[in-house]
Amino acid sequence: MKLVLPITLSLGCLALIGCQTTTSNKTEGEAPSPVSSDPVTVEEPVETYVFGWGNLPAELARPRGGTTRGTPVEFAEPRQLPLASIAATDNPFEKDRAAILSLAGDYKASFHFLETMGLFREHEPIRPYHSWSTEQVRILEDRGDFISLQHTLAMYFKQKDGSVMGPMVMKHWRQDWTYQDTDLHTFRGAGTWERDTRSPESVQGAWSQSVWQVDDSPRYEAIGRWTHDGNRSAWTGENSWRPLPRREYSVRNDYSVMEGFHRIIITPTGWVHEQNNWKRVEGDASDTPDYRGHELGIDRYELINSPDLSKADEYWDKTGPYWAAVRQAWNEIYSENDQFSLKSKVDGRSQFEHHFEYAGKLDGGEEYDPAAGAKFAKETIEKYLTEDPAEVAY
């Protein structure tokens, strides 16, 4: 059975990660309420149920976000589990590869986060976070023991007059998977990443997942393992540190590290990304930790048949060579540096602004010069690099 649902969007949070959705509580086909000539006063509930908390003031149940409407989404037919590509082999390595490759496709993604507790005396419950996007996940590279998946936003908006605006196409985050990876760079707080060398024995049969920001700068990397039990295929990562996401650093300044583990599970409708995060005040890993609280996150990636996201392919046809140069520049930095730090802004501008402007010219039809593009990518990144974490305001 195909389902067609409306989606909504807050334009203000498009810059990095999608936005809040809201939908009507009225069920399709529901009978209208009786009409009365008497005025009716509807009182807002004082309290409402919030999962994990019980009854809270109603305002705290309303997620952060907006209400601009997107066009309807048609979901794809659910698939049988285990996926045919996973069931087709008994080789654990090939099963893992099939699971990773199945993450590609066209999706409606929704992001849900709830702070479950505070660990300081003055803590009070806060509003949850809910955002969405429609995005394409493309296989950027597949070398067997290395798979790169690129996320690209392609979003349509319904205007008040009924017209449709879009698609708005924007490069989003990237995830790289490396089999039996012994050379990692892990986040250590204060905008700093350090080389983390593992023994071959410790990563036997494991895959690292490295996550990169919209401008291809690093975010986090962790080792984990896929398990395939009957119709359940899941990758569970180790405990790791991550920089604060925009949804947090834009409203919080009392902590600076996400510490936790995450899990990816293949579902009939796509895949789910679970997060289990502790909100940690920055400090060295050997220090006595100071935590502000804990949150749970569920990101749902649901396969769709429409709207058409093929404009993302056109974007990559035009800009792909430049973004390849950006990735190559980062490969060289990783190879040459055991530790580096990144400034969040230089001269009042974030790194992604420079890269997006350059790629935007190519998307607009400007011819790409490989030498000039590689030079611009390298010089741009180098402006933000520093060996002194004290210079970082991250």
If you write DSSP's letter for every residue of 272-326 in order, what string do you get? EEEEEEEEE----TTSPP-EEEEEEEEEEEEEEEES--THHHHHHHHHHHHHHHH
Judge contact between 261 and 237, C-beta under 8 A. yes
Domain extents in the chain: 4-23+50-309, 313-391
pLDDT for the residue numbered 393: 55
> Which tokens belong to 193?
């990443």
Judge contact between 382 and 351, C-beta under 8 A. no
Q: Is 373 helix (H, G, I), strand (E, B) or coil?
A: helix
Which residues are within 8 A (CB) of 137 and not within 5 positions of it... i.e. 6 or more apart?
103, 104, 105, 106, 107, 149, 150, 151, 152, 301
> Which tokens belong to 302?
């649901």
pLDDT for the residue numbered 8: 45
Would you give the end-to-end CA distance of the chain in angstroms?
A: 47
Which residues are within 8 A (CB) of 359 and not within 5 positions of it... i.e. 6 or more apart?
171, 319, 322, 323
Question: Would the CA dihedral through 166, 169, 172, 176 be positive or negative?
Answer: positive
pLDDT for the residue numbered 160: 84
Residue that is written with structure tokens 């806060």 in the block: 126
Residue 362: is it exposed, middle or buried by C-beta count within 10 angstroms (0-12/13-18/19+)?
A: buried
Which residues are within 8 A (CB) of 32 and not within 5 positions of it... i.e. 6 or more apart?
none
Q: Is the pTM of this model over 0.85?
A: yes
Count of positions (residues) in the chain: 394
Residue 333 φ/ψ, nearest 5 degrees: -65, -45
String of b and e for 289-326 (b: at least 16 CB within 10 Å)? eebbbbbbbebbbbbbebbebebbeebbebbbebbbbb
Strand ranges (DSSP E) for 159-312?
A: 164-179, 183-187, 192-197, 207-212, 218-229, 232-237, 240-242, 257-267, 270-280, 291-306
Cα distance between residue 217 and residue 236, in whole Å = 23
Residue that is written with structure tokens 């319904």 in the block: 158
Judge contact between 203 and 181, C-beta under 8 A. yes
Q: Is 128 helix (H, G, I), strand (E, B) or coil?
A: coil
User: Taking the CA atoms of the chain, what radius of gyration do you get in angstroms?
Assistant: 22
Peptide bond into 167 cis (omega under 30): yes
pLDDT for the residue numbered 355: 98
Judge contact between 138 and 326, C-beta under 8 A. no
User: pLDDT truncated to tens, each residue of the chain (394 aa)?
Assistant: 445 544 444 333 443 443 433 333 333 333 344 444 455 555 667 999 999 999 999 999 999 865 667 789 999 999 999 999 999 999 999 999 999 999 999 999 999 999 999 999 999 999 999 999 999 999 999 999 999 999 999 999 888 888 889 899 999 999 999 999 999 999 999 999 999 999 999 999 999 999 999 999 999 999 999 999 999 999 999 999 999 999 999 899 999 999 999 999 999 999 999 999 999 998 776 778 999 999 999 999 999 999 999 999 999 999 999 999 999 999 999 999 999 999 999 999 999 999 999 999 999 999 999 999 999 999 999 999 997 766 665 4
pLDDT for the residue numbered 70: 77
CA diameter of the chain = 77
pLDDT for the residue numbered 285: 67
Peptide bond into 307 cis (omega under 30): yes
pLDDT for the residue numbered 25: 35
